Amino acid sequence: MESVVDHLAFERNKAQFDVNDMKIVWAGSRQEFELSDRISRLVASDPVFQKDNRTALDRKELFKNTLRKAAHAWKRIIELRLNEQEASKLRSFVDQPAFTELHWGMFVPAIKGQGTDEQQAKWLPLANNMQIIGCYAQTELGHGSNVQGLETTATFDPKTDEFVIHSPTLTSSKWWTGGLGKISTHAIVYARLITDGQDRGVHGFIVQIRSLDDHLPIPGITVGDIGMKFGNAAYNSMDNGLISFDHVRIPRNQMLMRVSQVTREGKFVHSGVPRQLIYGTMVYVRQATVADASTALSRAVCIATRYSAVRRQFGSQKGGPETQVIDYKTQQARLFPLLASAYAFRFVSEWLKWLYTDVSQKLQANDFSTLPEAHACIAGLKSLTTSATASGIEECRKLCGGHGYLCSSGLPELFAVYVPSCTYEGDNTVLLLQVARYLIKTISQLCSGNKPVGTTAYLARVEQLMQYQSDVKRAEDWLKPNVVIEAFEARAARMFVAVAQNLSKFTNPEEGFQEFSVDLVEAAAAHCQLIVVSKFIEKLQQDIPGNGVKHQLEVLCSVYALFLLHNHLGDFLSTGCITQKQGSLANEQLRSLYSQVRPNAIALVDAFNYTDHLLGSVLGRYDGNVYPKLYEEAWKDPLNDSVVPDGFKEHVQPILRQQLHNARL
Amino acid sequence: MESVVDHLAFERNKAQFDVNDMKIVWAGSRQEFELSDRISRLVASDPVFQKDNRTALDRKELFKNTLRKAAHAWKRIIELRLNEQEASKLRSFVDQPAFTELHWGMFVPAIKGQGTDEQQAKWLPLANNMQIIGCYAQTELGHGSNVQGLETTATFDPKTDEFVIHSPTLTSSKWWTGGLGKISTHAIVYARLITDGQDRGVHGFIVQIRSLDDHLPIPGITVGDIGMKFGNAAYNSMDNGLISFDHVRIPRNQMLMRVSQVTREGKFVHSGVPRQLIYGTMVYVRQATVADASTALSRAVCIATRYSAVRRQFGSQKGGPETQVIDYKTQQARLFPLLASAYAFRFVSEWLKWLYTDVSQKLQANDFSTLPEAHACIAGLKSLTTSATASGIEECRKLCGGHGYLCSSGLPELFAVYVPSCTYEGDNTVLLLQVARYLIKTISQLCSGNKPVGTTAYLARVEQLMQYQSDVKRAEDWLKPNVVIEAFEARAARMFVAVAQNLSKFTNPEEGFQEFSVDLVEAAAAHCQLIVVSKFIEKLQQDIPGNGVKHQLEVLCSVYALFLLHNHLGDFLSTGCITQKQGSLANEQLRSLYSQVRPNAIALVDAFNYTDHLLGSVLGRYDGNVYPKLYEEAWKDPLNDSVVPDGFKEHVQPILRQQLHNARL
């Protein structure tokens, strides 16, 4: 790829499958592969998009650099006449969070999803041409998870036919809004609608926040950046902002009125459009977070796997080279489950895309029957995949030893930029409680003949699952898909039944929910793991072309499932789904699977087809030429600009010369 | 403390124990408490030591700021005539990693531990006066964990009575050395000693690296900073450096010769001093990392606990205030085990201090009998406590919701500055393998009558432990110290016996070790957990004065043990130490313990006695006045210096005005 000598060629030659075919499987289709391949190379070869040394920039320099890249991206999108999908790929390969993410990812979809036809006709052309730049202001200083607790008000004034947007308290300041701090001209602001003195709940409003002439805030608005966030560069390239409103007036037609409307007279009415329709946007955004999880985790795994093959430590025989760290079982047992997880999350996100399409079509046909199940499923998978990815990236960093702590490894920034996913778009614990609530309800309705659907269908067999006993006798039995699925189904079902029994003792169900919320969260996690394992197995039931490709995926699928089983052995044993002996056989099988992954590891991460530009990691270089490049990178640090550093003469030399008492410090 | 209104007073009033007495217990003694209290206030009140906005500084500004603080610290130490212990406290409360850490923490101790009397007489006065500044250059670009694999050479030249220090390869460049990049004048360099053409293994040498006149590198030396590291500020205030040597000559008397010597004739001889003596330094450094773990974890827990009491979300009844998030069981189940861990690590580190003294005294008396056990114990505890602390800090950050992602929460920097502990001073996985090796050896020698000592003494009862069956019948039974200890002993012993049986099947023991290294690591972790639980229980057998203090600690001790049991339920069940029912009773007891911790939570973190300066966290403020201060902090970001940001006119305005094709981007 980028270099003449391939230091990892000997590893690539070990692969027992066709890596080019695996690239297609990973991408989803040949067309998807070609699109990503083309756009990622386009970005990687453009000097404006280089990522050199951005972690050493101060906040202002970084922000200016980001504006430059965002503008250049827009220029290239226009020049090359890229379509929506291509443009979105290009922005994501630039790999530096910018205000444009919120404009395209939240502002435009909100208008599409919640605006009336007239509102869409007015605002979408402006937004699509970027004649206005928008953001999405929901979270407040004092309110994140609890959207119904938002304090900002939008009071209708029938005299002027306007809404008055107001921040009644300090904690009602909007907070965290990406793109708001310095750049956006408009915002979708969520506020409690007040008409006739009555609180009508939270609705969205299009509010202009800065003048299109001089970019100064509109009178009555206080707006700024909320300050530095976790990590080097990372999200500090984004102007997450705060805003407060002092009786700011907007025309009545700037409330997003697709579902609910306020008439000229100030009457609050519902349109014929069902409220559920607007859930479509949220479902879309959350399913995208699952795809993002597989991307982020696979980047980290790619870096750690390549460097584990380059790095040698201990075990030198008679002065020969030391052992590659990837050959150590302890390294394999930490790294390969993450490799398997990256593939597992990829396939479950592919399935979620299908689910989203399916739900959308049903919504259009006024069929809301599968919405609650889809909602619970997506919430759970968002929680599972983002939590596992955040801790997985940090594990990959540790697997690189000391050098993983250098910014030039790419891993610190990847971690810092990724972790907020565990909190935004629904806190992961809150989401698991929602999943649990849905499953408890599903179970409680079984008696009344309500048939569970989709990912909860297995609960229809709950009585059978309560009787289940795994029939594993040899380690290889754990390779059978049905054996694995049934064990995971029985475990999840029994955990829910156990907690449901505890809940039934409470006269006040909410009290029971509070008391047993930890058990509920654990049961929900078990259910979500079952989904990921099932979807991986379903994927393998499809025809997958390519020499050796399907077998590799079968191995990874077993690694993923048995790793989960090992990590949650307590669940499987305490619910009596498997015996101690069967647990130990699963572990034995896992050990043998790691040996099967080993020769294919490098090719399995090559299949992600990431450019060195995207990885931004000296340790993860395609050519494995790590040490000379680490050495080169070091000298680029600003501290190396001068031999004697700033401050030395002033602060250190007086100490060395024992002039401390005379020196001005 | 720092404010007039105490927003957390209602929480402090709930405490069922005397917080002032707990402060003494946490500090270790009244004297320790008073020392920390006095020095931390001294630092907090000094304007030079303020930490404002350091996360927004670029590398050079941050480094200069660090030099200023280090010089000011030295000045205050001299002016106030602080003793060694006070000086060390002062440096640690400044809370910004600086070159002085390595000078005092590694350079000086290495000379004390490995230098001859003459060497100490020559170098220590210079170092103690800071007329020279030293660092500790061991790790190389290509070699971290495997010290015996270091490549730097020190070849004796009998003609000139000198050693020639040389870096034969790129990977032999010293790398990571703190304080080396820009500041140190001298280094202890570890290199392979070559005399008579023979490799005599790795030894330490005192090498001058920069001129004391102009601070330029000595000829033959290439030295610089290795570049940016993880996080905002964090370790970027430290000049971790690289150095390579091109045949640099030093006098023979600059090899540290306490244990081994090279004579004028070039003969390599051993002094009478046993090699083990120099392990004292390593034991000291590692036991300090355990104390540091309790400090770092308790800081994070203090911030998360206070903010969990301030923050409200959901559950508003009839328009009243929402529920404090600390009242949610899901929050308690994540937070309180970390609070208990902070106390557990504090007490085990206290015990380690005693162990260090004990071992040192025995070493002085040429008694090396307890050294291997102490070595394994300290390695294991370093691994356990640093891993748990690193993930615990990140968990605390997540427990603060979105605002934990802001630098002003203090948690991002605390995490970034802490995580390298998992890698330096022994990679945590490598250390656990060392522990496992020692325990397997201990078990294999039981038959030959070798009595296990110290923390491994329980293995003498291995036969009895193999028969053990927990007799827990009710949830409260899990509060009995013996019940807990025996379950943990039986679990660890059985895990080791199981893996020992697997190992015995191999004719080549090393092969067995490789194959079962993951099981060995898990067994070693179980052993280390037993140590921490035991030492917490031992602490409670002492007389602990103060109203209600001991009872609180008993509750925390049970939380710590039962949390571990719940998290590793698979181990306890698969080894047959406890039944499914007993596991479920432990969980029931844990739930009830969380309710007992709840009213005491704020007072339990107040007992750490941290100043707001040290915490450096708006969320963790003593007075709980979080939101107005978050708002204030936001405006300090450099991006808020101007209303229209740098780069807007150049890059964004042309887009808004649709002048893109004409604009120069």
The pLDDT assigned to A661 comes to 53
**Closest chain A residue by Cα to residue B519:** A330
Q: Of residues B3 and A108, which shows the higher confidence score? A: A108
* Contact (CB<8Å) A131/B658: yes
Name every chain A residue with its beta carbon within 8 A of the beta carbon of B329: 514-518
Q: What is the pLDDT of residues B533-560, one digit of tens each?
A: 999 999 999 999 999 999 999 999 999 9
- Min distance A132 CA to chain B CA atoms (Å): 6
- Min distance A279 CA to chain B CA atoms (Å): 21
* Contact (CB<8Å) A580/B569: no
- Min distance A362 CA to chain B CA atoms (Å): 32
The pLDDT assigned to B660 comes to 67
* Contact (CB<8Å) A401/B228: no
Q: Is A224 annotated as a binding residue?
A: no
**Closest chain A residue by Cα to residue B74:** A655
**Closest chain A residue by Cα to residue B66:** A647
The pLDDT assigned to B662 comes to 45
Name every chain B residue with its beta carbon within 8 A of the beta carbon of A643: 215-217
Count of beta carbons in the 10 Å neighbourhood of residue B291: 18
**A247 inside domain:** yes
The pLDDT assigned to B665 comes to 42
**A366 inside domain:** no
- Min distance B191 CA to chain A CA atoms (Å): 17
The shortest CB-CB distance from A637 to any of B171, B225, B230 is to B225
Q: How many CB pairs under 8 A join A and B?
A: 393
* H/E stretch holding B261: strand B260-262
Asked if residue B274 has pLDDT above 90, the reply is no
| Whole-Å CA distances, A419 to A276, A390, B254, B473 | 30, 5, 48, 42
* pLDDT band at residue B3 using 50, 70 and 90 as cut-offs: low
**A541 inside domain:** no
Token pair listed for B663? 């604009």
Count of beta carbons in the 10 Å neighbourhood of residue A51: 19
Asked if residue B165 has pLDDT above 50, the reply is yes
Distance CA B405, CA A417 (A): 10
CATH of the domain at A167: 2.40.110.10
Probe site for chain A from B494, B633, B655, B657 (most A CB atoms < 10 A): B655
* Contact (CB<8Å) B322/A149: yes
* pLDDT band at residue B661 using 50, 70 and 90 as cut-offs: low
Distance CA A256, CA A193 (A): 11
The shortest CB-CB distance from B215 to any of A144, A518, A648 is to A648
The shortest CB-CB distance from B227 to any of A176, A591, A636 is to A636
Name every chain B residue with its beta carbon within 8 A of the beta carbon of A576: 580
**B92 inside domain:** no
Name every chain A residue with its beta carbon within 8 A of the beta carbon of B568: 570
* Contact (CB<8Å) B405/A647: no
The DSSP secondary-structure symbol of B166 reads E
Count Cβ atoms within 10 A of the Cβ of residue A219 and give its class: 0-12 exposed, 13-18 middle, 19 or more buried.
Answer: exposed
DSSP helix/strand/coil, B30: helix
Name every chain A residue with its beta carbon within 8 A of the beta carbon of B68: 647, 650-651, 665
The shortest CB-CB distance from B515 to any of A56, A329, A401 is to A329
To the query of whether residue B588 is one of the catalytic residues in this protein, the response is no
**Closest chain B residue by Cα to residue A415:** B230
Q: Which residues contact B405 (CB under 8 A, 6 or more apart)?
A: A229, A230, A235, A419, A420, A423, B397, B412
Q: Kindly state the average pLDDT of the residues A328-351.
A: 98
**Closest chain B residue by Cα to residue A214:** B644
Distance CA B272, CA B664 (A): 76
The pLDDT assigned to B1 comes to 45
The shortest CB-CB distance from A322 to any of B149, B394, B648 is to B149
The pLDDT assigned to B53 comes to 81
Q: Of residues B279 and A67, which shows the higher confidence score? A: A67
Q: Pairing mode, if any, of strands B268-270 and B260-262?
A: antiparallel
Distance CA B48, CA B613 (A): 12
Q: What is the pLDDT of residues A536-546, one digit of tens each?
A: 999 999 999 99
* Contact (CB<8Å) A401/B145: yes
The pLDDT assigned to A110 comes to 93
Q: What is the pLDDT of residues B574-622, one digit of tens each?
A: 999 999 999 999 999 999 999 999 999 999 999 999 999 999 999 999 9
Asked if residue A16 has pLDDT above 50, the reply is yes
Asked if residue B160 has pLDDT above 50, the reply is yes
**B234 inside domain:** yes
* Contact (CB<8Å) A242/B634: yes
- Min distance A357 CA to chain B CA atoms (Å): 31
Residue A508 carries which side chain, given as an amino acid letter? N
**Closest chain B residue by Cα to residue A656:** B131
Distance CA B42, CA B620 (A): 20
Name every chain A residue with its beta carbon within 8 A of the beta carbon of B416: 231, 412
Q: Kindly state the average pLDDT of the residues B265-287.
A: 82
A241-245: strand order across its sheet: A174-177, A241-245, A221-225
The pLDDT assigned to A370 comes to 87
Q: Kindly state the average pLDDT of the residues B203-227.
A: 98
Q: What is the pLDDT of residues B293-349, one digit of tens each?
A: 999 999 999 999 999 999 998 887 667 788 999 999 999 999 999 999 999 999 999
- Min distance B591 CA to chain A CA atoms (Å): 8
Annotated binding site of B: 139, 178
Q: If you search the block for the tokens 């070039």, which residue do you land on? A: B266
Q: If you search the block for the tokens 């009415």, which residue do you land on? A: A269
Q: Of B11, B350, B413, B425, which one is the catalytic site residue?
A: B425
Asked if residue B640 has pLDDT above 60, the reply is yes
Q: Which ipTM was obtained for this model?
A: 0.96
Q: Kindly state the average pLDDT of the residues A115-138.
A: 97
Token pair listed for A333? 């047992």
3-state secondary structure A320-347: CCCCEHHHCHHHHHHHHHHHHHHHHHHH
The shortest CB-CB distance from B637 to any of A70, A227, A516 is to A227
Q: Of residues A426 and B490, which shows the higher confidence score? A: B490
* Contact (CB<8Å) B146/A314: yes
Q: Of A101, A413, A425, A522, which one is the catalytic site residue?
A: A425
* pLDDT band at residue A660 using 50, 70 and 90 as cut-offs: low
| Whole-Å CA distances, A642 to A256, B212, B430 | 57, 17, 38
Range from A331-340, B37-46, B54-63 carrying the lowest mean pLDDT? B54-63
Asked if residue A469 has pLDDT above 50, the reply is yes
* Contact (CB<8Å) B645/A63: yes
Distance CA A566, CA A586 (A): 7
Name every chain B residue with its beta carbon within 8 A of the beta carbon of A654: 71
Token pair listed for B497? 């016996």
* Contact (CB<8Å) B171/A661: no
* Contact (CB<8Å) B407/A230: yes
**A238 inside domain:** yes
Strand pairing partners for A260? A270
- Min distance A299 CA to chain B CA atoms (Å): 17
Count of beta carbons in the 10 Å neighbourhood of residue A366: 9
Name every chain A residue with its beta carbon within 8 A of the beta carbon of B405: 229-230, 235, 419-420, 423
* Contact (CB<8Å) A402/B637: no
The pLDDT assigned to A1 comes to 45
Probe site for chain A from B228, B403, B619, B631 (most A CB atoms < 10 A): B228
Q: Which domain holds residue A116?
A: 109-273
* pLDDT band at residue B464 using 50, 70 and 90 as cut-offs: very high
Q: Kindly state the average pLDDT of the residues B228-241.
A: 96
How many structural domains are present in chain B?
1
Asked if residue A662 has pLDDT above 90, the reply is no
Probe site for chain A from B230, B332, B389, B431 (most A CB atoms < 10 A): B230
Asked if residue A108 has pLDDT above 80, the reply is yes
- Min distance A525 CA to chain B CA atoms (Å): 13
**A601 inside domain:** no
Contact A162, B623 (CB under 8 A): no
Distance CA A69, CA B241 (A): 32
* Contact (CB<8Å) B652/A71: yes
Name every chain A residue with its beta carbon within 8 A of the beta carbon of B573: 569-570, 573-574, 580
